[in-house]
Structure 1
Amino acid sequence: MARGVFMAGALALSLLVTGCVAGTSSEGAAVADDQPFEGEVEFWTINLKKNYSDFITGLIDDYRKQHPKVTVNWVDVPGQESATKLLAAVASGDVPDAVNISSLDLGRFAPSLSPLEDYFKPADLADFQPNLVEPLRIDGKLYAVPWYNGGAPVAMYRKSVLEKAGADLGKPPTSYDEALALADSVHDKTEVYGMNAIPDHNALRYYGIKLLSDDKKSAAFNTPEAVAILEKFKKSYDAKGIAPGAVSKDIRNLPQTLENGQIAFKATANAAELLNIQKNAPEVYEDLVVTPPVRMSTGGFLLLAQQAFSIPKASKHKKAAAEFIKFFTNGANQLAFCKIVPIYPSTVSSTKDPFFSGSDGDDPMSVARSVIVKGLPELEYTPIGTAKDSELGELLSEEVRAYLTGTKSAKEALDTAEKRWNDALAS
């Protein structure tokens, strides 16, 4: 279920944008605050031009009105080339000056990024949600400022199924343990699968399991507590509370989903999933009740990723890049972007607009927007924190799938996953 949050919001969270801003500064010589910027701005985006050309062009026009001596050259790059292009730029030293980077890649690129304290003072960060800024610090230094995210998760329940099971939707599950119990009860009483979650690394974080050692050089999740968590999920999986297809490797196309009506609920999901359900299964959409999701052991909500802006160390125009980032991520521009894409802002001022604060309807999307906005200050972004986060997550999921399908015991699965993590980290 937790892994579904990321995949459901993939459209919003896979927009990797990079940008180059040229100003009148040179390496080591900052531009005075009142000095106009001059030169060419080469602004890269990834797969945005097809759907968001008018929006990006409008922002560029607005920026040029404020800085008439700046020429903007917008380049849109195929998504499959984004990481390779940034790696090549860093290797060559011919880097973009302002780069949009996924928080999942921040640890990977941090050694080549410039700390931002010289360019973003406390006043420049004041409108950002503090809980979204702090995770972008590494060893006390800020390496990125937030842009947008998939929002706080929500829970979605099929009213007809839950009522048949005798569940009280006025008191939805607040923890994974409660969600597992409900899932088992639903299947027992209705023969509808409860949910499609597995105890991957994200689910372990909901239980407060520490994934890595403090020095991030070795796995730390192989504990008796983690074994007990896997056993809880296996019990539910065997009882059909968890759908059999939950062990499928292709999590983008699980056999049993809310959309195809084969599960009863998702205890934590990205609201972007609602758009797909509304479009592809309107009868399911009309049957949904949206509530706050299950919480982590800390009481907060897990944020799996966010988009942010950084400045490479090799940039010769850091001041100009910083000023462009401030413009591009300001509250008004984030709000405008959120109105055309199912994403959520990192700025507090954006959430006070009626677009968010006025979400008082009772349809699933309106309720979801209200739940999400209220949950933004409680988001906790807790990445694994390495350059190999995605690889490590899949390595653990492979072993969890082996356990759920009976190939290994819980301890054997965690032992193997621990060794594979340590080998990957060592290499």
Structure 2
Amino acid sequence: MSAPTAISRRNFTAAAALLPLLGAAGCLSGNPATGPQAPAGDKFAGDVEWWTINLQKNYADYLNGMINSYTSEHGDVKINWVDVPGQDITTKLLAAIASGKVPDAVNFTSATTGLFAGQMRDLGEFFSAEDLAAYAPGLTEPLKNAQGQQIAIPWYNGGTSLGFYNTALLEPTSFDPQQPPKTFTDALELATEYHKATGKSATNLIPTSAVLQQNDIQLLSEDRKTAAFNNDAAREFVATFKPLYDSGAIAPGAISSDVRNLPQNLENQLIAFSPITVSSNLLNVQKNAPQVYQKIAVTPPVTGASGTYMMPGQQIFGIPAKSDNPAAAAEWLKFVTSAANQVAFCKLVAIYPSAPKALEDPFFTEKTTDATEPADAAIATLIKTFPNSADASLGSGNDEQLRLIFDTEIVAFLTGKKTADQALADAEKSWNTELAKPR
């Protein structure tokens, strides 16, 4: 059996380049595409203009190999590949839509589904229920618009979150790596226990919008037109964090706006654990504090009662409503996102597939056995939590701004400037104002 692949700086740097957080620019209608649409065309004939994000430099051989393989089987199809820098994809696609000269298939991120939903073809016309069943339901369902139309399909992602625990620092507590915290209540109880035992801060966990989602609290109404979080469940959950922040059990720097460089962190051992954090944070520990890295126990992140692991976002494909050749584009996308081609891509960089069948490949199954190094354990845990993963994207058209608004109000609450009621009410008002703006 081959050894599990370690999480390397090279792999995660490349993966980070593949998963840009794209801001939503411009205004487009969030309603389904209206007006006449181009004929579907032949499934296996004609030109297909295909846009990807940030892949030309490092993965041209892989992508050209797929193109050559596909066109050798379907000689009447020509794939015209266009690779777009990550920072340009939103503005470039907006411009293409405005001009009417759109690609036939386009790669964008799930964070921008709300922005482009009204300009994408309903893929239900080209993908059968069996076709869509090839992807994980938790990754496919969020890619529907408010009317239930499938406006995109999943491609690849960076995995869900993980939990990291410094076993040496946690020795004065009851922490057991074999039975780690499973819920937010468990995590806060461990933080309190650690603080009482040592007088030191335990964690940076605060109730951000992402944390509320992970705890099964709905943020948007079903039609995505209004905020849905100003309720008793959210207030009670948010309120549980205040005593721990006041006491110092939650680190004072947890409210920093620079979430990638919090002053108290695992690397400097000014906190003892992170019960829910992005997987790439382990790379920072491995690089900057190797002596700490060896003490880290890797676990699934804490969740709500549903046991769902929220994914920050994913790379997806859609077919613009004005595509000249949507049927051929759809067949091409089925090929690109097949389990076999996803596995081949995952072998090149530390990314994860959207097709459950891909995880049956030995490349993944061998990684779930005897994972003792923290990096290996991280990969194994991400694979094991995949069946219960879901895309956390809101589909609002401006997810990033909404999250910033919410998290700013939470900081105001934790620092005593507002009550929990005030913070949630103000966040709700600001969200509803933002959501009412035309897209």
- After TM superposition, the score normalised by the length of structure 2 is 0.86
Structure 2 partner of 1:159 = 167
In 2, Cα distance between equivalents of 1:57 and 1:287: 42
**Structure 2 residue 295 is the aligned partner of structure 1 residue 284:** no
Q: Which amino acid is 1:97 matched to?
A: D
1:65 CA displacement:
2.9
Q: Which amino acid is 2:237 matched to?
A: I
In 2, Cα distance between equivalents of 1:227 and 1:400: 11
Structure 2 partner of 1:132 = 139
In 1, Cα distance between equivalents of 2:245 and 2:76: 62
Cα deviation 1:269-300 (Å, max 9, x = unaligned)? 23232233223322222111112221223222
Moved more, 250-259 or 324-333: 250-259
In 1, Cα distance between equivalents of 2:237 and 2:18: 31
Segments of structure 2 that go 5 or more residues without pairing to the other structure are: 1-14, 23-36
Moved more, 100-109 or 116-125: 116-125
> For the Cα contact (< 8 Å) 2:160–2:312, is it kept in 1?
no
Structure 2 partner of 1:54 = 61
1:134 CA displacement:
2.1
1:74-153 equivalences in 2 (<5 Å): 74-138=81-145, 139-153=147-161
Structure 2 partner of 1:385 = 395
In 2, Cα distance between equivalents of 1:424 and 1:378: 31
Structure 2 partner of 1:28 = 39
In 2, Cα distance between equivalents of 1:408 and 1:49: 48
Question: Secondary structure at 2:207's aligned position in 1?
Answer: coil
Segments of structure 1 that go 5 or more residues without pairing to the other structure are: 1-8, 17-25
Structure 2 partner of 1:243 = 251
Q: Which amino acid is 2:416 matched to?
A: G
In 2, Cα distance between equivalents of 1:160 and 1:416: 41
Q: Which amino acid is 1:177 matched to?
A: T
**Structure 2 residue 339 is the aligned partner of structure 1 residue 331:** yes
> For the Cα contact (< 8 Å) 1:93–1:314, is it kept in 2?
yes
In 1, Cα distance between equivalents of 2:199 and 2:76: 67
> For the Cα contact (< 8 Å) 1:296–1:302, is it kept in 2?
no
Structure 2 partner of 1:252 = 260
Give the aligned length.
407
1:6-17 equivalences in 2 (<5 Å): 11-14=17-20
In 1, Cα distance between equivalents of 2:333 and 2:21: 16
In 1, Cα distance between equivalents of 2:434 and 2:137: 32
In 2, Cα distance between equivalents of 1:220 and 1:136: 19
Structure 2 partner of 1:200 = 208
In 2, Cα distance between equivalents of 1:312 and 1:81: 17
**Structure 2 residue 281 is the aligned partner of structure 1 residue 273:** yes
In 2, Cα distance between equivalents of 1:130 and 1:80: 29
> For the Cα contact (< 8 Å) 1:399–1:413, is it kept in 2?
yes
Structure 1 stretches (4+) deviating beyond 4 angstroms?
Answer: 9-12, 68-73
- Determine what percentage of the aligned residue pairs are the same residue: 45
Structure 1 partner of 2:34 = none
> For the Cα contact (< 8 Å) 2:138–2:389, is it kept in 1?
yes
In 2, Cα distance between equivalents of 1:118 and 1:425: 29
1:231 CA displacement:
1.9
Structure 1 partner of 2:404 = 394
> For the Cα contact (< 8 Å) 2:51–2:81, is it kept in 1?
yes
In 1, Cα distance between equivalents of 2:295 and 2:425: 42
1:395 CA displacement:
0.3
Structure 2 CA distance for partners of 1:130 and 1:425, relative to 1, 3 Å: closer
In 2, Cα distance between equivalents of 1:180 and 1:11: 34
RMSD of aligned residue pairs (Cα, Å): 2.3
Structure 1 partner of 2:416 = 406
Structure 2 partner of 1:6 = none
In 2, Cα distance between equivalents of 1:106 and 1:292: 27
In 1, Cα distance between equivalents of 2:75 and 2:40: 22
> For the Cα contact (< 8 Å) 1:15–1:48, is it kept in 2?
no
Structure 2 CA distance for partners of 1:222 and 1:248, relative to 1, 3 Å: same
Q: Which amino acid is 2:300 matched to?
A: P
In 1, Cα distance between equivalents of 2:338 and 2:271: 40
Question: Secondary structure at 2:168's aligned position in 1?
Answer: helix
Question: Secondary structure at 1:141's aligned position in 2?
Answer: coil
Question: Secondary structure at 1:117's aligned position in 2?
Answer: helix
> For the Cα contact (< 8 Å) 1:184–1:239, is it kept in 2?
no
Structure 2 CA distance for partners of 1:314 and 1:275, relative to 1, 3 Å: same
In 1, Cα distance between equivalents of 2:246 and 2:378: 31
Question: Secondary structure at 1:210's aligned position in 2?
Answer: coil
Structure 1 partner of 2:7 = none
Q: Which amino acid is 1:260 matched to?
A: N
Structure 2 CA distance for partners of 1:424 and 1:286, relative to 1, 3 Å: same
Cα deviation 1:219-258 (Å, max 9, x = unaligned)? 2222233222222111111222211111111212222222
Structure 2 partner of 1:5 = none
> For the Cα contact (< 8 Å) 1:15–1:46, is it kept in 2?
no
- After TM superposition, the score normalised by the length of structure 1 is 0.88
**Structure 2 residue 429 is the aligned partner of structure 1 residue 419:** yes
Structure 2 CA distance for partners of 1:338 and 1:315, relative to 1, 3 Å: same
> For the Cα contact (< 8 Å) 1:152–1:372, is it kept in 2?
yes
Cα deviation 1:168-196 (Å, max 9, x = unaligned)? 22221111111011112223323442221
Moved more, 63-72 or 152-161: 63-72
**Structure 2 residue 313 is the aligned partner of structure 1 residue 305:** yes
> For the Cα contact (< 8 Å) 1:12–1:341, is it kept in 2?
no
Structure 1 partner of 2:380 = 370
